Structure 1
């Protein structure tokens, strides 16, 4: 025992004093987790099939997905931004990994049952018996249920990211100017043009926006993933966006170029200027901590737009600056990319911002939504307002689920959104 303790002490000291890259320890942990997941999932295949080709195919496909993922991650150049290859590697990894977690839940539950049976047998008879073998039915059930998220992710990557949904709301306000009764606003958010690969599908989404024929079109940030040139091939598509009385936009967190390595600080500054110029090229009035008055038949409402303000990062937005010159009793619509701004600052502000429009979360691009029954996504554990319409203190926020996609090249259950809001005088 003393020798073992000395051996472990030496290993610990060497491990602690050895200079190791910061990324190596998380990578080792990830590899250990992956091995454990694969061993467990392979048990299910062994239980339901004795065919060597089935087992070999499972191992070969899993190995190919992991190898592709690790090679992509280790050779990924942050100076290029998120490439389609990066996104596909991430997509395949999630597509194959998440269903395996479903299998593990079932098999781990069965293992607990098997150990309980063994312990009961030991206590009742005093004899040590072998653990009951794994039941084929449980493995079949686990793989059957795991097939649901697997198929859903495949659909999400191929078609779900283009499954545009028009979501309509009618909001009533006592102090809405009479001329704006029935006024319509289309909101889109999170274009992320650097992720696009299918021109025909994107054109369909733009046409669907125009079909709403709203009075106002508002875009709430993230026109690119990182680089301004991601939009070069799409300007002639998005410059066709139309609205009766104007198009306005704000910046999102990705528009600042903070998520990639630039060769020089000046390159980042130049890119940011180009991103801002994109909005002008496609006909948007970009609001940078500014406001505009929208006038109709002698009445007016204030439209305010702030730069990105997020809880814990990139708090560039200045609400006070954007509101300078706006009266407290004016009816106000605020565009702010990150909904945490509304949660932390806006909703309790005495200046009374009637309606805030945000995006940013994408609803994590995966979840379950059954209208009137169930609304769930891992995004809700990060953002209190993560998708759809919310009201507190008589003030509203709509969190648009996004037009495009990012990181994961698909959408599962959380579809790309075009929001149409009709204002009514109560």
Structure 2
């Protein structure tokens, strides 16, 4: 039921954005308002319905020529959806100024018409803004889906045990295997990390969106465990719950990957043994209280001199990790906001920990921008895989 409500909101919202965008364009160009409202509404509806239909179609096909044909069309449509919303926002700002100018002209001369030069400026705006924003949205969609950055980060961890010196950890997060991210992209990600020869690979949740790929993903990751001397570690994210968390967990548990669900495992020995602590995802309203409870559960039984490294899909674990003096926390979930302009993210994300490396009194936390995505549009926020080297 919830998904149909969301679809209805999307369709109505896009129709509204399209209608208002059409109104602004015809207002600025001094043409038929009625046609602008109709054409804009139809455009918004077409983008919404086309995106929904194609996205549902992508869940029924896996690979082959049909996938190769549909995926770029769907990516382009998503870019145009963002472009329409952005065009509406920009033209609305210009519309406010247009209205103020007309009011000013009326107060000065009693005539609400603005002078020729200003009228020509708004006519050009009605053409230039949709064109520029439309191209930008489409480019951002295709570039965001295609670009993958390998980030290499060196960490001087606080009170590091000698056994961790030179240790390398690769991170994948928010892969979202499904309509936009296929097996070819997963192979690209794993190959990029493996090229740096890390000791282990950790996957911090949201691995899969389409269960049609589950067996293929499980078999592939199982075959790649051998490429990482200390194996592959996996925790759940919220999208595993959206599809079928128990089915995902059961199938991946059949692989040689190390699985964590509010649990821990010793990964290195020595006078101060190193432990990996992996968290399950939860949906409790009292987030921090539940985080405390689950961390207590996950770390129960660890020796007092343990040196923990925390894997948590959501960065809302970071405050409690810092409070407990956990030297390193790896997370994801936010996708880095995906659309970043002028140093700001335009998509609501968890604050203050939403992208990149954070340090507090010698303790570190890292929030991945995501190795994939369920929505392909990215601007100044490329997909990433990360390799950490402990100094």
How much does 1:337 deviate?
A: 0.5
Computing the radius of gyration over CA atoms, which structure comes out larger, 1 or 2? 1
Alignment of structure 1 residues 172-191 onto 2, 5 Å? 172-191=156-175
Distance 1:147-1:388 versus aligned 2 partners, 3 A rule: farther
**Does structure 2 retain, via aligned residues, the 8 Å contact 1:188–1:218?**
yes
Equivalent residue for 1:396?
A: 364
Partner of 1:415: 382
Counterpart for residue 321 of structure 1: 297
1:115 is matched with which residue?
103
Is 1:251 the counterpart of 2:236? The answer is: yes
Deviations 1:111-146 (A, max 9, x none): 223322332x15xxxxx2233155222443565455
Name the residue aligned to 2:67. none
Q: In the alignment, which of 57, 60, 66 is matched to residue 45 of structure 2?
A: 66
Instruction: Tell me which moved more, 288-297 or 177-186.
Output: 288-297
Distance 2:10 2:223 in 1: 46
Cα-to-partner distance string for 1:354-413 (whole Å, 9 max, x where unaligned): 111111111232223xxxxx532134654321111112343221111111111x233222
Change (3 A) 1:328 1:98: farther
**Cα separation, 2, equivalents of 1:361 and 1:418:** 14
**Structure 1 residue 295: Cα displacement:** 1.7
Q: 1:75 to 1:199 in 2, by over 3 A?
A: closer
Q: 1:232 — aligned with what? A: 215
Give CA-to-partner distance per residue, 1:172-206, whole Å, 9 cap, x none: 13410112112111111011112346554443333
Q: Is the 8 A contact 2:21 2:87 kept in 1?
A: no
Deviations 1:61-80 (A, max 9, x none): 87244234147669998xx7
The 3-state SS of whatever aligns with 1:274 is helix
RMSD over aligned CA atoms reads 3.9
* Contact 1:216–1:246 (8 Å) recurs in 2: yes
Q: Tell me the distance in 1 between the aligned counterparts of 2:195 and 2:205.
A: 21
Say whether 1:375 aligns with 2:375.
no
Q: Does the alignment pair 1:159 with 2:143?
A: yes
**Correspondence list, 1:34-73, <5 A:** 34-44=18-28, 46=29, 63-70=42-49
378-387 or 306-315: which moved more? Answer: 306-315
Unaligned 5+ runs, structure 2: 63-69
Report what 1:355 is aligned to.
328
* Residue pairs, 1:251-330, within 5 angstroms: 251-257=236-242, 271-280=244-253, 283-295=256-268, 300-309=273-282, 312=285, 318-330=294-306
3-state SS of 1:218 partner: strand
Distance 2:11 2:144 in 1: 31
**Contact 2:149-2:385 at 8 Å conserved across structures:** yes
8 Å contact kept, 1:309–1:338: no
Q: Matches of 1:274 and 1:251 in 2, distance apart?
A: 12
2:308 aligns with one of 323, 326, 332: 332
Matching of residue 131 in structure 1 with residue 106 in structure 2: no
Query: Quick check: 1:289–1:307 contact (8 Å CA) kept in 2?
Result: yes
Deviation string 1:10-64 (CA, Å, 9 cap, x unpaired) is: xxxxxxxxxxx988899777755542232013334x36xx9x9xx9899758724
Count matched residues: 368
Q: For the Cα contact (< 8 Å) 2:17–2:41, is it kept in 1?
A: no
Task: Specify every segment of 5 or more residues in structure 1 that has no aligned partner in the other structure, as ranges.
Answer: 1-20, 123-127, 261-270, 369-373
Distance 1:102 1:355 in 2: 42
**In the alignment, structure 1 residue 208 sits paired with structure 2 residue 184:** no
Deviation of 1:96 (Å): 2.5
Instruction: Name the TM-score, length of structure 2 as normaliser.
Output: 0.79
Distance (Å, rounded) in 1 between the aligned partners of 2:223 and 2:139: 29
CA distance in 1, matches of 2:219, 2:378: 25
More divergent stretch after superposition (272-281 vs 247-256): 272-281
The alpha carbon displacement at 1:292 in A equals 1.2
Specify whether residues 333 and 375 from structure 1 end up closer, same or farther in structure 2 by C-alpha distance, changes over 3 A only.
Answer: farther
